[in-house]
Chains A and B, each alone.
Chain A
Amino acid sequence: MRKLKEFIIEKLILISGLASIFFVILIFLFLAKEGLSVFKSVTPFNFLLGKNWYPISEPAQLGILPLILGSLIVTLGAAIISIPIGVACAVYIAEIAPLKIKEILKAGIELLAAIPSVVLGFIGMVTLVPWVKSTFHLPTGLTALSGAIILAFMAMPTIVSIAEDALYSVPKSYKEGAFALGATHWQTIYRVLLPAASSGIVAAVMLGIGRVIGETMAVMMITGNAAVIPQSIFVPVRTLTATIAAEMGEAVVGSEHYFALFAIGIVLFIMSFIINVTADLFLHKRN
């Protein structure tokens, strides 16, 4: 009887594990099936490097280069803002902060992670957008920069919590050894602890960026959604995610436009996949 129970439970767990992999494969197959159909009407080269996105014109122009660059510039901006702040915050929490402040900070970071993106987008729209416009004397505040700032807030919790974890798991003996050799606290942090935890920190950054690339609602609300190739960070951009979200409801099922949106989904999938795999490699390196 007990053996039977064990057997059943084992098999149930196995099925659960297989099911999740199976669903991922199904999703990917569906994406590929719908997305690859777009290449009947446009070559992959023209699709990826075309400069015009006019999906409902006759004939439709389906070039997603401005969208790819839009996504990249927002992501890059968010990374430049969030990485130094996030890593520094993690160092402070893990190494320097007294216990009380540590708890408060940790709770604060958790809270930041709990804010829904649509709320962040809305707050950004009414506070950040006018500020960006007046500070940099721009024609409009709906720019890649506004998107990058808001997304930096979204990447921060991921970066801080995982990087802090990596710093925390550096063996105590490293730190004691450095102190014994007469290093100051700061020297210990940047010469010993940071290099020792580097793989975990890189993984943290990668996962943070992964979250940024996939973010939709907030960017749709504050980047202005103009499909032009961005010359700087102070211009409106349109991201891959916002394009799918804004146009999927209207695309006629089975049209070129519909397939093109799925193909954009494939591009996004590949981007996230690369980022996650890189993060994974770094994490395993540590172990």
Chain B
Amino acid sequence: MFKKDLFILAVLMFTASAFAGNDKNSIQIKGSDTMVNLAQAWAEKYMEKNSEDFVAVTGGGSGTGIAAFINSTCDIAECSRSMKKEEIQLAENKGVKPVEHIVALDGIVVVVSPKNPVSKLTIEQLRAIFMGTIKNWKEVGGEDKTIVILSREINSGTHVFFKEHVLRGGHEKGPEEFAPGALLMSSSQAIADEVAQNQNAIGYYGMGYISPKQKVILVAKDEKSEYIMPTIENVVKGRYPISRPLYLYTNGEALGLVKKFLDFTLSKEGQEIVAKTDFVPVK
């Protein structure tokens, strides 16, 4: 009886270790909610080609991924913002040495409901809307309706990037904040759903989430500039004002399986997947 139990336990432990992320041919990727679809697509294609390797992908937000990376519970952190000085310091204190790799570009799109007549805004107007100084759609050429601001939760790289580049005009540390009345949504999909069914709402997310249920706003640097549509071409040329690199972080220079996967993401095939998932290739 006892022996049988021990045998079952051994089998369980063995299978657990086969699925855990610490043996040679499996890697854990964790982080950005924006990039999760992209990383998933990479992982699927990669595992198709290398059937003996296993790549696990989870989202949750860039901050969440970085926290896991610092605590060594994942091999690669996917981030839609670069790591902050404090985070790098913290990682080094724990013996983790973050190395940054830019694997794709992303335009952050601002979306409203297709029923909303507003179709273009300047950065200045966006700033006023998201900080809560413009409260009504009629102030930016829409109907007489209260604006409902949708933002991502603070663990989101997109939240941090939008705050630093739109609200604070590119300064990392400024006094500007999202309006306290902004609704904080736990995922890009939640923002997409709310925008689709609420014609007063305005939200933002990565290009990967564009769908026909939302209307993409044309953005201009200032009133004198041209209003630009966030297309792949405009992001590559740097014409669209709210775009950013997307990163993978590895602990030290990538080795073994991590290197193999990283090389795959930057290969021709990997970059084709980038374009397919509505992001912008870097090569």
Question: Which residues of A pack against B, CB within 8 Å?
Answer: 52-58, 66, 125, 130, 133, 139-142, 220-221, 224-228, 236, 238, 246-247, 249-253
Contact = CB atoms under 8 A, between A and B. Distances in A.
B154 A226 contact: no
Contact of A139 (B60, B67, B145): B145
Contact of A247 (B155, B185, B198): B155
A140 B148 contact: yes
Given A139-B200, A249-B67, A250-B64, A54 B177 contact: yes
A225 B183 contact: yes
Interface of B: 60-61, 63-64, 67, 70-71, 86-87, 90, 145-148, 153-155, 160, 173, 177, 180-186, 190, 193-194, 197-198, 200-201
Contacts of A252: 67, 70, 86-87, 90
Contact of A55 (B67, B71, B86, B154): B154
A57 B197 CA distance: 32
Nearest to B180: A228
Contacts of B145: 139
Contacts, number: 77
A65 to B, nearest CB: 12
B183 A133 contact: no
B268 to A, nearest CB: 35
B153 A246 contact: yes
Given A133-B198, A140-B201, A225-B185, A249 B155 contact: yes
B155 A236 contact: no
A133 B194 CA distance: 12
Most buried by B among A140, A141, A220, A251: A140
B85 to A, nearest CB: 12
Nearest to A51: B180
B7 to A, nearest CB: 27
A139 B155 contact: no
Given A142-B194, A250-B154, A252-B90, A226 B183 contact: yes
Contacts of A139: 145-148, 198, 200
B63 A250 contact: yes
Contacts of A58: 173
A266 to B, nearest CB: 21
Contacts of A238: 184
Nearest to B200: A139
Contacts of A130: 197
Given A58-B173, A220-B186, 5 more contacts: A140-B200, A142-B194, A224-B183, A236-B181, A246-B184
Q: Which 3 A-B pairs have CB atoms at the shortest separation, nearest pair first?
A: A250-B155, A250-B63, A249-B64
Given A139-B200, A140-B200, A228 B64 contact: no
A225 B181 contact: no
